[in-house]
């Protein structure tokens, strides 16, 4: 049961961070389908930091460096969507899909090239190992061994709620996703606000990526991507009705089912069912389909999401 709690908190953290990122983007009026690719770019930046930064710098420096590089990497990746969708009015769904495909390919080729050069041609894998550095990211709380990113996720949740509902910036951001023409008429720069929303989604998506690849393992093959977690986070966001607190509850629900795929053998009742591990790994995706089938009809997305803003229209 302890392992179930640990993995639930880790997967919940991933889903919550990425879903909050999608929430900011969509509240600004931009659909970020590219969260999967942004996660991978953020994971790559964090993994390279853990690989090349000496562990002698200590835990605080390592944690801060990994957070900053992962967040910055995700932000840079999100700019591809922002420029294409906001500045050039490109189709947001197609642009996001392209980012997902490009990120996986670029990360795989880049890591393979790096490994080939550093090993003199003997290693052509897309794997990055970060065993020693990962140990600095964990903390022992009684019987639980948790990742420091769980605390980062809690802070991100509190900050996201406060920013969206208690600040002028948040209210303006949501106005741009609901009635951009009305927002523009009172002096709000819709383009800048949408850029801000997408960039925030990049920061949170990048953090979600590094949390995902460090969830219980000491290396990652980037050709594997992030197993659809970007799309699963979008389902969490929709189920959570684009509200941070509801998204947190949805992420916890999905996190439990995803954790079962890792620890079912250690739970007597589940082990006695003798089901294939594939069934447990499929659970979060099956649950997402079922949940969305029953809840999406009543979901109300921001009215202007996915619609390029044209200043000349009123």
Q: pLDDT tens for residues 50-92?
A: 999 999 998 899 999 999 999 999 999 999 999 999 999 999 9
Contact 18, 211 (CB under 8 A): no
264: DSSP letter: G
Instruction: Judge whether 148 and 210 are in contact, CB under 8 Å.
Output: no
Q: Quote the pLDDT of residue 259.
A: 83
Tell me the mean pLDDT in the region 144-155. 89
| Domain containing residue 228: CATH number | 1.10.3470
Assess if residue 306 is contained within a domain: no
Query: What is the mean predicted confidence (pLDDT) over 36-55?
Result: 95
pLDDT at 268: 57
What does the pLDDT look like over 289-307, one tens digit per residue? Answer: 887 787 767 778 899 999 9
307 domain-assigned: no
pLDDT at 184: 94
**How sure is the predictor about 98, in pLDDT bands with cuts at 50, 70 and 90?**
very high
Measured CA to CA, the distance from residue 34 to residue 32 in angstroms comes to 5
Instruction: List phi, psi (to 5°) of 199.
Output: -65, -40
User: What is d(CA 210, CA 61) in angstroms, rounded to the nearest whole number?
Assistant: 16
- Select the more confidently predicted residue: 267 or 159: 159
Contact yes or no for 250/236 (Cβ under 8 A): yes
Question: How many C-alpha atoms does 200 have within 13 Å on its Cβ side?
Answer: 26
Do the domain assignments include residue 230?
yes
- Residue at 217 is within a domain: yes
User: Interhelix angle for 149-166 vs 190-213, to 10°?
Assistant: 160
Q: How confident is the model at residue 272 (pLDDT cuts 50, 70, 90)?
A: low
* pLDDT of 197: 98
Residues 25 and 177: their CA atoms lie apart, in Å, by 9
- Give the pLDDT score at 314: 60
Is 226 inside a domain boundary? yes
Question: Which residues contact residue 46 at a Cβ distance below 8 angstroms, ignoring those fewer than 6 apart?
Answer: 66, 67, 69, 70, 73, 206, 209, 210, 213, 214
**Residue-number span of the structural domain to which 28 is assigned:** 2-298
Judge whether 310 lies within some domain.
Answer: no
pLDDT at res. 264: 63
Choice between 59 and 131, residue whose per-residue pLDDT is larger: 59
- At 158, phi and psi to the nearest 5? -60, -45
The pTM assigned to this predicted structure is 0.93
Lowest mean pLDDT among 37-41, 44-48, 123-127, 251-255: 123-127
Total domains in the fold of the chain: 1
When pLDDT is averaged across residues 257-269 and rounded to a whole number, the result is: 70
Across residues 265-279, what is the average pLDDT?
65
**CA pair distance 154, 137, nearest whole angstrom:** 16
């Amino acid at each position: 049961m302890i392992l179930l709690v640990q993995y639930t908190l880790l997967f919940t953290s991933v889903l919550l961070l990425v879903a909050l990122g999608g929430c900011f983007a969509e509240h600004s009026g931009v659909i970020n389908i590219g969260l999967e690719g942004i996660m991978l770019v953020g994971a790559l930046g964090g993994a390279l930091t853990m690989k090349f930064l000496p562990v002698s710098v200590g835990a605080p420096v390592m944690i801060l460096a990994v957070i900053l590089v992962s967040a910055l990497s995700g932000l840079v990746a999100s700019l591809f969507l922002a420029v294409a969708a906001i500045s050039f009015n490109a189709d947001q769904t197609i642009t996001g899909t392209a980012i997902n495909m490009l990120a996986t390919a670029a990360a795989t080729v880049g890591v393979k090239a790096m490994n080939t050069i550093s090993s003199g041609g003997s290693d052509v894998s897309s794997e990055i190992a970060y065993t020693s550095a990962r140990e600095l990211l964990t903390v022992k709380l009684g019987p639980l061994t948790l990742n420091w990113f769980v605390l980062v996720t809690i802070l991100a949740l509190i900050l996201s709620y406060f920013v969206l509902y208690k600040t002028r910036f948040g209210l303006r951001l949501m106005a741009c996703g609901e009635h951009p023409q009305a927002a523009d008429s009172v002096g709000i720069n819709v383009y800048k606000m949408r850029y801000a929303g997408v960039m925030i989604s990049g920061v949170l998506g990048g953090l979600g990526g590094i949390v995902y690849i460090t969830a219980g393992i000491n290396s990652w093959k980037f050709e594997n991507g992030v197993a659809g977690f970007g799309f699963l986070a979008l389902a969490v966001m929709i189920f959570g009705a684009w509200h941070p607190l509801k998204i947190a509850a949805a992420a916890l629900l999905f996190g439990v089912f995803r954790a079962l795929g890792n620890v079912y053998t250690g739970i007597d009742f589940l082990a006695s069912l003798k089901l294939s591990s594939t069934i447990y790994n499929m659970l979060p995706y099956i649950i997402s389909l079922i949940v969305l089938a029953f809840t999406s009809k009543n979901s109300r997305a921001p009215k202007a999401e996915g619609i390029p803003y044209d200043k000349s229209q009123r």
